[in-house]
Amino acid sequence: MAGIEKAVQERILVIDGAMGTMIQNYKLSESDFRGQIFEHHHNDLKGNNDILCLTRPDIIQQIHEAYLDAGADIIETNTFNATKISQEDYGTEGHAYAINMAAAEIAKRATGNYDDRFVAGAMGPTNKTASLSPDVNNPGLRGVSFDELVDAYFEQAEGLIDGGVDVLLVETVFDTLNCKAALYAIDLCFEKKGIKIPVMISGTITDASGRTLSGQTVDAFWISIAHADLFSVGLNCALGAKEMRPHIQTLSRIADCNISAYPNAGLPNELGEYDQSPQIMRAYIRDFISSGFVNIIGGCCGTTPQHIKAMAEVAKEFKPRPIPTLKNQSRFAGLEPLIVREDMNFINVGERTNVTGSKKFSRLIQSGQYQDAISVALDQVEGGAQILDVNMDEGLLDSKKAMKKFLHLLMSEPDAARLPIMIDSSKFDVIVEGLKCVQGKSVVNSISLKEGKAIFIEQAKIIKRFGAAVVVMAFDEKGQADTVDRKVSICKRAYDILTRECNYAPQDIIFDPNIFAVATGIEEHNNYAVNFIEATRQIKALCPGSLISGGVSNISFAFRGNNKVREAMHSAFLYHAIQAGMDMGIVNAGMVEIYEDIPKDLLALVEDVLFNKSDAATEALTDYASRVKGGGRKLERNLEWRDNEINKRLEYALVK
Ligand code: THG
């Protein structure tokens, strides 16, 4: 166990305060920032605090020592802006590695005089955001890509590790996609170096609504990063301790790792300064600690060694928060969380944002009408979809490009961005492209043992690095499983590989035992519904914690064009599959009718087909179908409510 892991079990750890304000006190000039190394640098460097690690290491070390003297257990390296992305503002991006390495060495030197103090390598959010457009007129635009962030964070992590930091701290996270890129890079870096050190994450809530800048709630933020085996998660900066309180409380309830909080010294005044005194701040911190919210506390903007001293005194009085044991639930997230609770009947995954599953969507995407294609997603949300399946697998499309463009636009549509995304493609590079566009915890649809175990493991590990859950199809080297035995044995084999060799939580595994069309006229197809339902029952028992899903509309492909019969088949099939343990399904959201509402004569015919009750079942249903051609329910978004007066509109919106 690393020293800090032992220390955090014994006491509440104190993290240091602001670096920037301490540097300001030295009233440094341009030439201090330049030193000798940058004497002839083409840009002004004043204000590039991180460059002081190279040009005035003496000052940075003094500041660290002041915080250590005040009682800080953890000091942060002076590297908040030391990625090549942020350093570009000063034309010093070529020095990023050197800054990080030097910063770590300075901090380590400072802790050298103490036992049991730790250096956290600070990794800021960068000055760019991967989830938001820098241009209001072009919501699909992004100022930085996932790959660029991974590249920059990898270099920073490597410099910090080479300089000897004890932990890495990804902090002031305002966009979870940036944070996920940092986690991705850190994981790559650990793999390259064959080491692992603790990782801390600290997000920031920038407005009173309790969301990150990129729009996530605190619980969605946690769900989106919980894959990374974190030492701690917490919040820093922003609005100060008072406003942070409810969000730290939430995190401390839902996160099964250490909790950190290092707020600003209150809200900034008109001059942008922070003036909460050490005494006042101590009271807030005492409240955090005595309420059992935190394991690590400290200060951000406006806090000084006096503030840290006051906090260290309070920290000594209390025991650290015990880490809670959480229920093993499947959790997904868009801007908001989706937690699969026991009392939840079924999760609807909207199927229509699929170029092979909707003629309308396909036409809109292929003609480049992406904004209109978004309305297909909104219709699914309105129809009750809780996850959106997005598929761009069409020969005439550049699927990677289409996936990226559509997801970027979708993410700027608040009503749709609330939902987790199911990234659906048979091409793994399209899936990876999709994963790079979403900040939440997505579901990959799908992987399988089709091309053997080695490729399966390779893909599973990449998905895990992005923090997504995964749909596994019952498909192996021999082909798609259609019998109960093959469905069950393939899923069990995949379950064992994922949980034992890829470190997957069972809750992140969703099996799809293949829903195939019945009543096609081919006799072998007649057992397909029964086989799915029976396999579901057995897989749920054999693979505890995992979920079962399937493409429900496949079952009725033989009745294309006859929505009345199709909808009856879908709901009757779901009624029985859910009882057998099916947890979620890809459906035409809004078009799944209630089992009890299916006309009894139709229901009898449908169930004869689904349960393969007689040789005449297919013919009887086909016969019925020919008499009720057309029909089916219409899903229309009625926008009349928008013409009402304001109170009625609000009422409608609230009820919705
Ligand atoms: N398992 C998993 N993923 C899947 C499937 C699955 N993804 C795709 C598919 N199967 C599920 N999605 C759909 C989407 C639409 C239809 C069927 C399955 C569908 N569409 C109408 C049709 O083809 O008749 C479209 C009509 C129209 O264009 O309006 O039926 O099994 N993991």
pLDDT digits over 420-479, tens only?
999 999 999 999 999 999 999 999 999 999 999 999 999 999 999 999 999 999 999 999
Residue nearest ligand 1's atom 24 by CA: 560
The finding on whether 357 has its CB within 6 A of some atom of ligand 1 is yes
Residue nearest ligand 1's atom 26 by CA: 358
Say what the pLDDT of residue 240 is: 87
Q: For residues 448 and 487, is the Cβ–Cβ distance under 8 A? A: no
- Listed in sequence order, the residues at least 6 apart from 274 whose beta carbon sits closer than 8 Å to its beta carbon are 240, 264, 265, 266, 267, 268, 301, 302, 303
Say what the pLDDT of residue 634 is: 55
pLDDT band at 400 (very low <50, low <70, confident <90, very high): very high
The finding on whether 390 has its CB within 6 A of some atom of ligand 1 is no
pLDDT band at 232 (very low <50, low <70, confident <90, very high): very high
Strands annotated E in 266-374: 296-298, 331-333, 337-339, 347-350
* CA dist., res. 562 & res. 636, Å (int): 18
Residue-wise pLDDT for 181-217, tens only, equals 999 999 999 999 999 999 999 999 988 889 999 999 9
The finding on whether 618 has its CB within 6 A of some atom of ligand 1 is no
Average pLDDT value over all residues in the chain: 95
Residue nearest ligand 1's atom 17 by CA: 553
The finding on whether 512 has its CB within 6 A of some atom of ligand 1 is yes
Mean pLDDT of 550-556: 98
Residue-wise pLDDT for 491-536, tens only, equals 999 999 999 999 999 999 999 999 999 999 999 999 999 999 999 9
The finding on whether 563 has its CB within 6 A of some atom of ligand 1 is no
Q: Could you tell me the two tokens for 337?
A: 């969380």
The finding on whether 295 has its CB within 6 A of some atom of ligand 1 is no
Q: Could you tell me the two tokens for 77?
A: 């390296």
Say what the pLDDT of residue 1 is: 62
* CA dist., res. 532 & res. 235, Å (int): 45
Provide the 3-class DSSP secondary structure of residue 553. Answer: helix
Dihedral (CA of 32, 35, 40, 45) sign:
negative
pLDDT band at 394 (very low <50, low <70, confident <90, very high): very high
Residue 649 has pLDDT above 70, yes or no: yes
Residue 358 CA: nearest ligand 1 atom is 28
Residue-wise pLDDT for 330-360, tens only, equals 999 999 999 999 888 899 999 999 999 999 9
Rg of the chain's alpha carbons, rounded to an integer?
28
Mean pLDDT of 32-46: 97
Q: Which of 226, 208, 211 is nearest to 175 (CA)?
A: 211
* CA dist., res. 405 & res. 411, Å (int): 10
Residue where the block lists tokens 């996609």:
177
Mutate to test the pocket of ligand 1, among 553, 557, 566 (most ligand atoms within 8 A of CB): 553
The finding on whether 554 has its CB within 6 A of some atom of ligand 1 is yes
Mean pLDDT of 615-642: 79
pTM of the model: 0.95
Say what the pLDDT of residue 630 is: 60
- Listed in sequence order, the residues at least 6 apart from 136 whose beta carbon sits closer than 8 Å to its beta carbon are none
Residue-wise pLDDT for 304-333, tens only, equals 999 999 999 999 999 999 999 999 999 999
CA dihedral 207, 211, 212, 215 (to 10 degrees): -120
Mean pLDDT of 250-264: 97
Residue-wise pLDDT for 263-281, tens only, equals 999 988 888 889 899 999 9
Residue-wise pLDDT for 123-175, tens only, equals 999 999 999 999 989 999 999 999 999 999 999 999 999 999 999 999 999 99
Say what the pLDDT of residue 637 is: 57
**C-alpha distance across the termini of the chain, in Å:** 50
Burial of residue 543, with CB atoms counted within 10 A of its CB: 0-12 exposed, 13-18 middle, 19 or more buried? buried
Residue-wise pLDDT for 567-585, tens only, equals 999 999 999 999 999 999 9
Q: How far is the CA of 350 from the centre of ligand 1 (A)?
A: 10
Mean pLDDT of 230-241: 93
Say if strands 199-203 and 167-173 run parallel, antiparallel, or are unpaired. parallel
Q: Could you tell me the two tokens for 85?
A: 């992305």
pLDDT band at 53 (very low <50, low <70, confident <90, very high): very high
The finding on whether 446 has its CB within 6 A of some atom of ligand 1 is yes
* CA dist., res. 362 & res. 365, Å (int): 5
Residue 635 has pLDDT above 80, yes or no: no
Mean pLDDT of 81-89: 98
Question: What values do phi and psi take at 448, rounded to 5?
Answer: -160, 175
